[in-house]
Structure 1
Amino acid sequence: MAQRRMTFRHIEAFRAVMAAGSMTEAARQLHTSQPQVSRLIAQLEAMTGLPLFDRSGSRLSPSLDGTRFHAEVDRAFFGLTSLEAAAARIRAFGAERLRVAAMPRLAGGLLARAVARFKAEHPDVTVAIHSGDDETVNGWISSGFCDAALTMLYGDALDSRLEHVLTMDCVAVLPRDHPLGARPRLGPEDFRGIPFVASPLASALRSRVDAVFQTAGVEMTITAEAGLGAAICTLVSAGLGVSLINPLAAYEEAKVSPILIRPFTPALQVRFALLFPPDHTRSRLMRAFGACARAILLEELAHLPDAALPAVPEAIGNGRRILG
């Protein structure tokens, strides 16, 4: 006959009897019968070869061997508790560190709000936010220095894994009293001879804008250059010219700067996306943060005026446009 092996039920019954001091009370706590507890204890004593309890009539007290065995059982259960705690920490991403990046406007706004939401759900994760221009952010991601980035793309992202969140069209920004403000939609021909505040040379947005104006046969009259949307809008509001920027920046700056916003044709698309290092395996931590960042970005979009929203919604999916 095969030798009976010790099971969790035997140990559970033994610990219950040790704690309760009687088979009857142990059975009540375990929601079973007193004969079942007695049978389990008898089997455990047979398997260990130890008299675990001294019996005197109906009275039951731990033997010296039983007390020693109980100490070992408690140590084993403490180990199991430690494993349960470790599993809980892993589920909650305990002791994890996350490094995320974005261009300044996104870092101080959308990314910071995404991190705040993520920290509320996963308080044990340490999150570091890094801010830099688009070239710097792409470098941090491609080198693996940062785990994820929230960025705006006017071209391709090299050496990185790209997860599209949404696509929108850039808008024209004008001084509040500019004559072009009377027009519902603007195009390159409207800007002929009009002072223009441009993005820096060699930037992705500048390259796209230059191409659109060259195709239309319109030469831009550039009076100033600036790399940040806030700086562009400040120059525009000061009357230095008109410009083309991404709609999130435009509508945020319109809250504090006297500027007008108008749709622009042909479409100059900007993709809001999450970037991950090349050959990077998406962990649960990355997926959780990505979900927070995606949700925050879509919520911000929902608060924009209807005129800023893309006209044709598209299905959500990996690498596909959501809106645009």
Structure 2
Amino acid sequence: MRKRLMSFRHVEAFRAVIAAGSMTAAAQRLHTSQPQVSRLIAQLEAITGLPLFERAGGRLAPTLDGMRFSAEVERAFVGLSSLEAAAVRIRSFGSGRLRVAAMPRLAGGLLARAVARFKTEHQEVAIAIYSGDDAAVSEWIATGFCDVALTMIYGDATDPAPEHVLTMDCVAVLPPAHPLAALERLEPADFHDAPFIASPLGSTLRTQIDEVFEAAGVEPIVSVEAGLGASICVLVAAGLGMSLMNPLAAYEEAKVSEIEIRPFVPSLPVRFALLFPPDHARSRLVETFSKLAFEMMLEELSRLPGGV
């Protein structure tokens, strides 16, 4: 005959009888019948080979062996409670750490807001934000130093498998009351022999802009080079020239700088995307944060003119 094995129901019934002092009260606690509890206790005594209870004044009292067994049972349940607590910590990313990156415009705006929203639900997660130019961000992702990055991609992507969020076109920014502000849109010819605030030489955006101007036979006068959108807009607002830049920076800076914004043709597309380390399995923490960041990017960028 196959030997009966101890089950959780046996231990549950034993704990209930210890706590209640009778089979009937234990049955009420477990929402079962008194005979069922009696049967489970009898089976447990047979399995353990120990007399676990004795009658004492109309109540069931644990024997010495029963008390010793009860102590071991409670130690086991403390271990189960620890496992439950560990599961809660894992489920809520309690011991997680996340490294996220973006170029300055995204890091100080969208990324910071995404982190703030994420922390409202996952307060115990440690998050570090890294900000750098597109080369630095790509390096951090390629080496796995950062878990996810918010990025802007001009032209063909060299980064592995970016997760596309939204594509927009670069816009022209002009000083306030500039004569060309009367136009609905600007073309390369409008920049010929005009002061121009350029992106740094070697940057992807600068290369694309130079190719567009060259194809149109246009030569603007580069008065200043600047890498940050905020710097470009301050220089434009000061009347030092016009520029072409990503629409997110232009529309956000327009809130604090006196600039005019106009569409530019031909199209200079910029793709907003998420980047992940190549050949790295994404943890549940990374997936959860990335989903939130994706939704926030789409939500905020869609409010700007020209999102597709």
Q: Same fold (TM over 0.5)?
A: yes
2:59 equivalent to 1:62: no
- 2:99 aligned counterpart, secondary structure: strand
Deviation of the 1:309 alpha carbon: 2.2
Q: 1:287 to 1:142 in 2, by over 3 A?
A: same
Percentage of pairs with the same residue: 70
Alignment of 1:83-232 (within 5 A): 83-158=83-158, 160-232=160-232
Which stretch has the larger CA shift, 235-244 or 149-158? 149-158
Q: TM-score, normalised by structure 2?
A: 0.97
Question: Relative to structure 2, which stretch is displaced further, 272-281 or 49-58?
Answer: 49-58
5+ residue gaps, structure 2, are: none
Q: Tell me, in whole angstroms, the C-alpha distance in 2 between the residues paired with 1:158 and 1:215.
A: 24
In 1, Cα distance between the equivalents of 2:103 and 2:282? 22
In structure 2, relative to structure 1, the CA distance for the partners of 1:274 and 1:218 (3 Å cut) is same
Deviations 1:192-233 (A, max 9, x none): 222111100000110111111111221222111100000000
What amino acid is the match of 2:31?
A: H
Misfit runs of 4+, over 6 Å? none
Is this contact kept in 1: 2:174–2:241, CA < 8 A?
A: yes
Alignment of 1:309 onto 2:302: no
User: Quick check: 56-65 or 163-172, which moved more?
Assistant: 56-65
Distance 2:3 2:99 in 1: 55
Residue matched to 1:320: none
Query: Does the 8 Å CA contact 2:155/2:269 hold for their aligned counterparts?
Result: no
SS of 1:291's equivalent in the other structure is helix
Task: Name the aligned partner's letter for residue 300 of structure 1.
Answer: E
Amino acid at match of 1:99: R
CA deviation after TM superposition for structure 1 residue 22, in Å: 1.2
CA-CA distance at 1:158 after TM superposition:
3.6
Task: Please tell me the residue identity of whatever aligns with 1:229.
Answer: G
Please report the RMSD computed on the Cα atoms of aligned residues, expressed in angstroms. Answer: 1.3
- Look up the equivalent residue of 2:51 and give its one-letter code: P
- What is the match of residue 46 of structure 2? 46
Q: Is the 8 A contact 1:188 1:212 kept in 2?
A: yes
Structure 1, residues 78-105: CA drift from partner, whole Å, max 9, x if none? 1112112222211111211111111112
Q: Is the 8 A contact 2:166 2:301 kept in 1?
A: no
Question: 1:112 Cα shift?
Answer: 0.5
**Structure 1 unmatched runs, 5+:** 311-322
The aligned residue for residue 237 of structure 1 is 237
Please, what TM-score do these two structures have when normalized by structure 1?
0.92
Q: How many residue pairs are counted as aligned between the two chains?
A: 308
Give the match's secondary structure for 1:32.
coil
Deviations 1:165-206 (A, max 9, x none): 111111100011101100111111121222111100000110
Cα distance in 2 between the residues matched to 1:268 and 1:43: 78
